[in-house]
């Protein structure tokens, strides 16, 4: 259509209005196209056709893998191969709030867990869906982008378990190295200012911030002794805080965009996409010397002279190891996989349990925004769609310990009157059935609802990753272990009681806390411990923070898979450098700690092969 020469029916124009309209449309189109970076090209064909040998092969281009490959390629004498099972992220991933459209798509592994009697009882099939990014950037391309480090005691405990070099004092330098926080942070010495990952407060990239709701929540938490904290991870204390995100002026800053795009023309880095690593190549001396890959049914063995680094995540990294004969002997024998090394691969699986179904009903004066207005404002100002729905999260210690070490996190998000498709998609992804969604839509028809979501920060329960078969293309068997330990239930019960206590504050007088109706719980006394436990076991599900399945620990730890330098025990030429190495899950969202692990992994490799010092403390 020729916009300049088009007039509305019955209208007359001298041409200026059409010209301005054309310029507006051109500006919007350019703004839309500018969102999409130019990722490294897929060099699979040249690798399949040649017989090249690499120094290092990095498996997985996610939060850790993109970081590791980028940092290793800083050594010009090394040739690095980065292998990713997915492709480039689609346009939708760059617009943060549209992440929901990727869930369940080809860009998502969409793992399904085994059913359980202890958790997820009220969800579809009594199972949980683990959404994990299957593309460059991995889950950093599909997550909610929250920037959370965890707490200092998390890392100090890692070191106390026999992992030297992993205290908070030691890893802080890597958090600073990865950060680019701009000029908005008040505590300058606690942050980095020229790293790869842009970090902004979500309040900087939105106009519509639900200020009335957030003000009420801040006041209610304050009444209960939890202050508002400007910089949670500089002060390391409980309270309610403004959320920060891995976002660059309203655009998602995934690790592929942050670490791979700037070096896409670096000659010593080769990237293969849509290529599955099926197994590790291991000789009789237990030396890993390459990988076998499959692309579109064609198999290829690729060799490396120094190391293979697994960074495929807490599900795929142990899966690849077990398929290669590194894992629990008994389990491998059941599947007729020859055992190379008997290690507790797949054990120690942990996840933050997230409890949905608690809604704070608020009649407010704020006007909902039309979706088309949101998109227009995003393209012109990078606001609105650049963040989750609110700017607050909270960390509390339900036992009130003097050491101030939170055990429950509250994710606080809001939905305007009339349930929107994004909110519906989220709760469908959690596992809600149609009856649950109908109830949720009904209560939101004439009121704002705040999703007050307690998250179990330090679960005691443990799960396990296993193989269904020896076929590398079969999904793994995921046993979550959720709520196997009764103390996890008690912690979440205390979290629910905290919400009820918050409802009795002067600030929230007249507001209501609504519970999603659960048939199994309907005959129990409301607000009793029995009711709370029933509610938790029916609706408790994944927090999407899966870690621990290739545990880091000393040689004396029978569960340890890797040592403190992330080398796999009794197997040469193999390291693991992703969230699976966490001995215990950190107290908060795990994406940024995983990037930190990637940064440290690369430095450990450089130190081992080049003798270079680690990152200096003054960063």
**pLDDT (tens digit per residue) in 125-158:** 999 999 999 999 999 999 989 999 999 999 999 9
Catalytic residues: 545
pLDDT of residue 525: 96
182: how many CB neighbours lie within 10 A of its CB?
15
Cβ-Cβ contacts under 8 Å for 136 (sequence gap 6 or more): 39, 40, 61, 66, 84, 86, 87, 88, 89, 254, 256, 260, 273
pLDDT of residue 31: 58
Closest of 165, 143, 142 to residue 155, by C-alpha: 165
pLDDT of residue 448: 81
Secondary structure letter of residue 113 according to DSSP: P
The predicted-structure confidence for 8-55, as pLDDT tens digits, reads as follows 555 555 566 566 656 656 655 665 666 678 899 999 999 999 888 899
Burial 243-260 (b: 16+ CB within 10 A, else e): bbbbbbebbbbbbbbbbb
pLDDT beneath 50: ranges in the chain: 1-6, 207-208, 386, 617-619
Is residue 356 left, alpha or beta, with left meaning phi > 0 and alpha meaning psi from -120 to 50? beta
pLDDT of residue 386: 47
CB 164 within 8 A of CB 565: no
pLDDT of residue 190: 83
CA dihedral 423, 427, 430, 436 (to 10 degrees): 180
181 is in an annotated binding site: no
CA 386 – CA 96 distance, rounded (Å): 5
Cβ-Cβ contacts under 8 Å for 581 (sequence gap 6 or more): 548, 550, 551, 552, 561, 562, 566, 597
Structure tokens, 333: 């024998």
Report the run of H or E that residue 82 belongs to, with start and end.
Answer: strand 80-83
pLDDT of residue 208: 46
pLDDT of residue 391: 73
pLDDT of residue 251: 85
pLDDT of residue 4: 43
pLDDT of residue 565: 98
């Amino acid at each position: 259509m020729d916009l300049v020469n088009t007039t509305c029916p019955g209208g007359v124009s001298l041409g200026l209005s059409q010209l301005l309209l054309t310029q507006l449309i051109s500006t919007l189109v350019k703004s839309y196209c500018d969102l999409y970076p130019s990722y490294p090209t897929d060099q699979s064909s040249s690798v399949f056709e040649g017989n090249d040998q690499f120094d290092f092969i990095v498996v997985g281009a996610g939060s850790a893998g993109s970081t590791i490959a980028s940092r290793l390629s800083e050594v010009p004498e090394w040739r690095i191969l980065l292998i990713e099972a997915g492709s480039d992220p689609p346009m939708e991933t760059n617009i943060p709030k549209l992440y929901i459209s990727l869930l369940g798509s080809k860009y998502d592994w969409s793992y399904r867990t085994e059913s359980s009697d202890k958790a997820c009882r009220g969800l579809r099939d009594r199972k949980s869906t683990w959404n994990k990014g299957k593309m460059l950037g991995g889950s950093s391309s599909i997550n909610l982008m929250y920037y959370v480090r965890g707490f200092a005691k998390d890392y100090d405990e890692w070191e106390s378990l026999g992992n030297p070099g992993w205290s908070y004092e030691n890893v802080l330098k890597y958090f600073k190295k990865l950060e680019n926080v701009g000029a908005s942070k008040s505590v300058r010495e606690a942050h980095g200012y020229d790293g790869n990952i842009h970090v902004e407060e979500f309040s900087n990239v939105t106009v519509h911030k639900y200020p009335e709701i957030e003000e009420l929540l801040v006041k209610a938490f304050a009444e209960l002794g939890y202050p508002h904290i400007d910089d949670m991870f500089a002060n390391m204390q409980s309270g309610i805080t403004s959320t920060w995100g891995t976002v660059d002026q309203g655009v998602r800053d995934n690790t592929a965009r942050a670490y791979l795009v700037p070096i896409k023309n670096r000659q010593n880095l080769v990237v293969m996409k849509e290529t599955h690593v099926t197994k590790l190549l291991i000789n009789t001396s237990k030396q890993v010397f390459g990988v076998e890959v499959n692309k579109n049914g064609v198999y290829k063995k690729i060799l490396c002279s120094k190391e293979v680094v697994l960074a495929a995540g807490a599900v795929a990294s142990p899966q690849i190891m077990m398929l290669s004969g590194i894992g629990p002997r008994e389990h491998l024998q059941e599947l007729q996989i020859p055992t190379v090394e008997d290690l507790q691969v797949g054990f120690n699986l942990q996840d933050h349990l997230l409890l949905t179904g608690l809604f704070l009903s608020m009649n407010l004066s704020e006007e909902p925004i039309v979706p088309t207005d949101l998109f227009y404002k995003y393209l012109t100002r990078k606001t609105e769609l650049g963040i989750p729905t609110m700017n607050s999260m909270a960390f509390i210690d339900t036992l009130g310990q003097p050491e101030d070490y939170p055990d429950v996190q509250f994710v606080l998000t809001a939905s305007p009157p009339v349930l929107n498709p994004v909110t519906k998609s989220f709760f469908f992804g959690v596992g809600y059935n149609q009856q649950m969604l109908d109830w949720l839509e009904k209560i939101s028809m004439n009121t704002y609802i705040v999703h007050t979501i307690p998250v179990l920060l330090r679960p005691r329960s443990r799960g396990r990753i296993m193989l269904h078969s020896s076929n590398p293309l079969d999904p793994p068997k995921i046993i979550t272990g959720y709520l196997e330990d009764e103390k996890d239930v008690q912690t979440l019960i205390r979290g629910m009681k905290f919400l009820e206590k918050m409802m009795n504050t002067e600030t929230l007088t007249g507001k209501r806390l609504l519970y999603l109706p659960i048939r199994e719980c309907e005959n129990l006394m409301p607000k009793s411990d029995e009711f709370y436990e029933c509610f938790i076991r029916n609706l408790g599900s994944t927090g999407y923070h899966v870690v621990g399945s290739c545990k880091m620990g000393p040689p004396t730890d029978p569960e340890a898979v890797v040592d403190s330098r992330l080398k796999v025990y009794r197997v040469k030429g193999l390291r693991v450098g992703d969230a699976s190495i966490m001995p215990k899950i950190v107290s908060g969202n795990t994406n940024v700690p995983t990037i930190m692990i990637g940064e440290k992994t690369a430095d450990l490799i450089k130190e081992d092969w080049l003798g270079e010092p680690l990152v200096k403390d003054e960063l």
